[in-house]
Chains A and B, each alone.
Chain A
């Protein structure tokens, strides 16, 4: 390592909805383009594999100060992360994330949701957030909150049928995400209400 090149500072994690990024402040060398390389170490490596580190090839000789580490943070254990600066042949010391990162701390946001009334049918369209996500959808007829019903939606790539509605009835829906791998849920989305098609004489 070369003492001229300082280690990157302010190394931190940005983690939202199971997408994890490592970020740091740039190392400035006038008139030069400094590059960076990132490595990770899982608990397995620390405990069973001589504290070895693994390079993230997509973040080798990177000019940006942001690295997507999602693919490699794929277990619910404590990870170490480090980054160093490189300029030509010289390399800085490693800058290491203070403390471990465990994906269980990712912040989960409520799902984007659109509720649709199609005739007498209550439907919901949910934002696709990736394979790690399921959705817990709660729905009820307005005024009958105690008879709330639930449906777990495992794939959000389409308009999902929830239930059939009584003619002219108002129905409300809210949803939260659930990530099984870390056994955590987001807060609920805002409640959305729709009205079923009216005059279903057959129901009277």
Chain B
């Protein structure tokens, strides 16, 4: 069924359709994760899981992560497989649509960034920059279900 949800991040209320992203990701999950041979590092979960983030910081982290995926990740996920590329495009365009919605909350100061979310996001960037860009992007894309599970 359609899975538009109203996400409550404190004062920020954003309606987002996650089902299409989930469907797109599920279609390429095995393919993308198979391209990531590094078991010992997680971009999003190392050293601490997203679940450890305080609820007051959820909006800010989510906003940063949407920017991260749109600005840094998707463009380095081109593959030789046309089907995978089309699904990545579908996810990327959905993220862009949601990034804009979250951006409105950010502009209306409903998406406060505390120190914890700043530190967590810095850690994510450090994990990302610790790998070569294609490996880092593929690993981040392969961890999309970690982000979706945490958001939902």
**Is A180 part of the contact surface with B, judged by Cβ < 8 Å?**
yes
**What number of A-B contacts does a CB cutoff of 8 Å give?**
75
**Is B119 part of the contact surface with A, judged by Cβ < 8 Å?**
no
Q: How far, in angstroms, from A76 to B24 measured CA to CA in the complex?
A: 15
Mark each residue of chain B from 82 to 106: 1 if its CB lies under 8 Å from any CB of chain A, else 0.
1101100110111111000000000
- The secondary-structure label for the interface of chain B is helix
Contact B97 A76 (CB under 8 A): yes
**Chain A contacts of B93 at CB under 8 A?**
42-44, 74-75, 77
Q: How far, in angstroms, from A55 to B85 measured CA to CA in the complex?
A: 9
**Is B40 part of the contact surface with A, judged by Cβ < 8 Å?**
no
**Chain B contacts of A154 at CB under 8 A?**
1-2
Interface size on B, residues (CB 8 A): 25
**Is A71 part of the contact surface with B, judged by Cβ < 8 Å?**
yes
Q: How far, in angstroms, from A195 to B57 measured CA to CA in the complex?
A: 55
Contact A75 B20 (CB under 8 A): yes
B residues with a Cβ closer than 8 A to A are 1-4, 15, 17, 19-20, 24, 70-71, 74-75, 82-83, 85-86, 89-90, 92-97
Would you list 26 pairs from A and B whose C-beta atoms are within 8 A, ordered by A residue? A42-B92, A44-B74, A44-B89, A44-B96, A45-B89, A45-B92, A47-B96, A48-B74, A49-B75, A54-B85, A54-B89, A57-B82, A71-B86, A72-B89, A74-B20, A75-B94, A75-B96, A77-B93, A77-B97, A131-B2, A132-B2, A133-B2, A179-B2, A180-B2, A180-B3, A181-B2
